[in-house]
Each structure stands twice: as C-alpha cells, then as structure tokens.
Chains A and B, each alone.
Chain A
Amino acid sequence: AQKITQTQPGMFVQEKEAVTLDCTYDTSDQSYGLFWYKQPSSGEMIFLIYQGSYDEQNATEGRYSLNFQKARKSANLVISASQLGDSAMYFCAMREAIQGAQKLVFGQGTRLTINP
C-alpha cells in the first residue's frame, strides 16, 4: 500500500520568506503522481501543483514549485515570497491506480502560519 508522510505538523514563517513543506512517499509502483493541495480555514481543497513520476523537470506553478527527488522518494513543496494568504493546511497526496482510475492517498497535513 502506498503511504504519504508529512513530518511537520505546523510551521511558522515570516511574510516574504520562502518556505519548504516536506513530503515523503512510499510506493512500489513505477508510474505514480504526486499532488499538493491547500486547505484554507474556509475548508475547501484547492489544487496547487502536480508532479508525474516520469517528469524530468520539477513542476512549477507561479510561486509554487515541487522539489522532486525520486531516489529519496521526496516531493517537497516550496513557496517563494510567502504571503499572509498562504496561511492554511497543506496536504501532499499520491495517486494510487485502481482499475485504471486514480484514487488519492493523503498525508496528515502541515499547518502553515505566515506572520506579518
């Protein structure tokens, strides 16, 4: 079974600083996908970024980038120039294939707080 580990229950960062949220994963599949979602206090799940296991380049989306280290089985999220609105829960997830469909396995999450 696949597993996602997020070892940082909470992080506190000063506004405008960069922040790295850790995520390690465990799988025996050769083909897999890794996702990061943001969950603000309002509760919705917002898709941030995706990395495929065969992608050679690290994924980037605006201020978000994914530091993908396949040999170490890590997929850390980097947020550059943090903003107050980045305060939220962040979840790392892995795609697990079931009969061709893709269910997601989530980590426990990291609560990020940006201080002014």
Chain B
Amino acid sequence: AQSVTQLDSQVPVFEEAPVELRCNYSSSVSVYLFWYVQYPNQGLQLLLKYLSGSTLVKGINGFEAEFNKSQTSFHLRKPSVHISDTAEYFCAVSWNSGGYQKVTFGTGTKLQVIP
C-alpha cells in the first residue's frame, strides 16, 4: 500500500526566513507527487506537482519541491516566507489502481509564520 509521511505537524518560522516542509512516501508502484495548501477556512489548492522529468519542480507563490527517488522524498521549500504563507500544507501521492488514480494524503504540516 502507498503511504505518505509528514513528520512535522507544525513548523514555526520567522518572516523572511527560509523553510522546508518534509514529505516522505512509501510505494511499490510508480507514483505522482503533489503539494497542496489549505488556507484557514478554505479548500485545498494545488501548489505544485511532480509527474516526470526534472526533479526540481516550481510552483505557485515562490514554492519549489525536489523529488528524490532514492530517499523517497518530496520536500517543499521556500527561500523567504511571508505572513500570508501561514497555512496547512499537505503532501499527497497518486497511483494507478485498476484504471483509476487513487490518492492518499499526508497528515499535514501547519506552517506558522511569525512576524
């Protein structure tokens, strides 16, 4: 079975400092990888995704993530965070099962940007 681990449930960081949110996955089949962001009282929206090709993926709002197959990781980074980045971040994997794409999410990491 496929699984996603987000080890950090909360990450406090000062404004304008860099941040890394960690995501590790476990899978016996080929997967696609995603990061979603959930702002307070809103739905999830896609930040970025890795499907194939370059292992460094750039997303919206200055975020990027690097796919590392050997370490089965897909960590999310931003060089300088802003107060508006305060949100919950979810890592997810999808895989094909019986012709349908199945998705599983990590437990989320709350990014708290401190002014």
A, B: real partners: no
